[in-house]
């Protein structure tokens, strides 16, 4: 078997704090516990590309799903992002999929691997010509059903009928 690139640490990765932030509202993320949430952004440089990145994992089901990942699986999920987001930020990555029937006005994207880790994120325009990408959920296969129940309009029954466990 070959090495899963998503599990291989990326060496040419740089994160830099910025003063940039994006304010998300319930209209953007209907599951937010408050009316709005400010996300502080870091500038990610990977190779020659750069983008702004932040995390807004909010709401009990999404927080609980993220907390269920042990340190190793959490690192794998982060490496999935670091591996695939630079190409996605530039326009397109064939490994990034779109979540269907979302509760949001804008698309939700995700990256997954054979080991079962899933990372969900959204794009929120650009600041100073850098794409803004915000992680909204992370989970393993065992918690995917609960995450999808929270971020989509699909019922548990429908999700199970299409093969989500």
Mean pLDDT of 132-160: 94
The answer on pLDDT for 1 being more than 90 is: no
CA gyration radius for the chain?
Answer: 15
pLDDT above 50 (res 152):
yes
Q: Compute the C-alpha angle 131/76/154, nearest 5°.
A: 70
Nearest CA to 20 among 153, 126, 95?
Answer: 126
- In this prediction, residue 13 has a pLDDT band, given cuts at 50, 70 and 90, of low
Return mean pLDDT, the chain: 88
What are the tens digits of pLDDT across the range 35-93?
999 999 999 987 777 899 999 999 999 999 999 999 999 999 988 888 888 888 888 88
Upper half-sphere CA count for residue 7 (Cβ side, 13 Å)? 10
Please check the confidence at residue 6 and state whether its pLDDT lies above 50. Answer: no
Residue found under tokens 């090495």:
3
The model's pTM is 0.89
pLDDT of residue 68: 94
Q: What band does 9 get if pLDDT is binned at 50, 70 and 90?
A: very low
pLDDT for res 49: 76
Q: Helix, strand or coil for residue 89?
A: helix
- Contact between residue 100 and residue 152 where contact means Cβ atoms under 8 Å apart: yes
Taking the C-alpha atoms of residue 74 and residue 3, their distance in angstroms, rounded to an integer, is 18
Over the stretch 85-123, which tens digit does the pLDDT of each residue have? Answer: 888 888 888 999 999 999 999 999 999 999 899 999 999
pLDDT computed for residue 32 by the predictor: 94
Backbone angles phi, psi at 74, to 5 degrees: -65, -40
Kindly indicate the confidence band of residue 134, based on its pLDDT and cuts at 50, 70 and 90: very high
Higher local confidence (pLDDT), 157 or 165: 157
Q: Which residue has the tokens 């899933």?
A: 118
Cα angle vertex 117, ends 47, 130, to 5°? Answer: 35
């Amino acid at each position: 078997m070959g090495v899963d690139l998503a599990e291989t640490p990326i060496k040419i990765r740089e994160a830099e704090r910025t003063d940039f932030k994006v304010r998300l509202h319930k209209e953007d993320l209907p599951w937010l516990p408050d009316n709005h949430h400010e996300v502080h952004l870091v500038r990610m440089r990977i190779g020659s590309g750069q983008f702004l990145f932040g995390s807004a994992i909010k709401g009990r089901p999404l927080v609980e799903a993220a907390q269920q990942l042990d340190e190793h699986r959490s690192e794998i999920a982060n490496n999935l992002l670091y591996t695939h987001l630079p190409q996605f930020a530039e326009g397109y990555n064939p490994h990034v999929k779109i979540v269907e029937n979302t509760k949001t006005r804008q698309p939700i994207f995700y990256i997954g691997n054979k080991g079962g880790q899933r990372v969900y994120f959204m794009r929120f325009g650009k600041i100073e010509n850098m794409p803004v990408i915000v992680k909204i959920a992370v989970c393993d296969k065992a918690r995917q059903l609960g995450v999808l129940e929270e971020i989509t309009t699909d019922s548990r029954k429908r999700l199970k009928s299409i093969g989500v466990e």
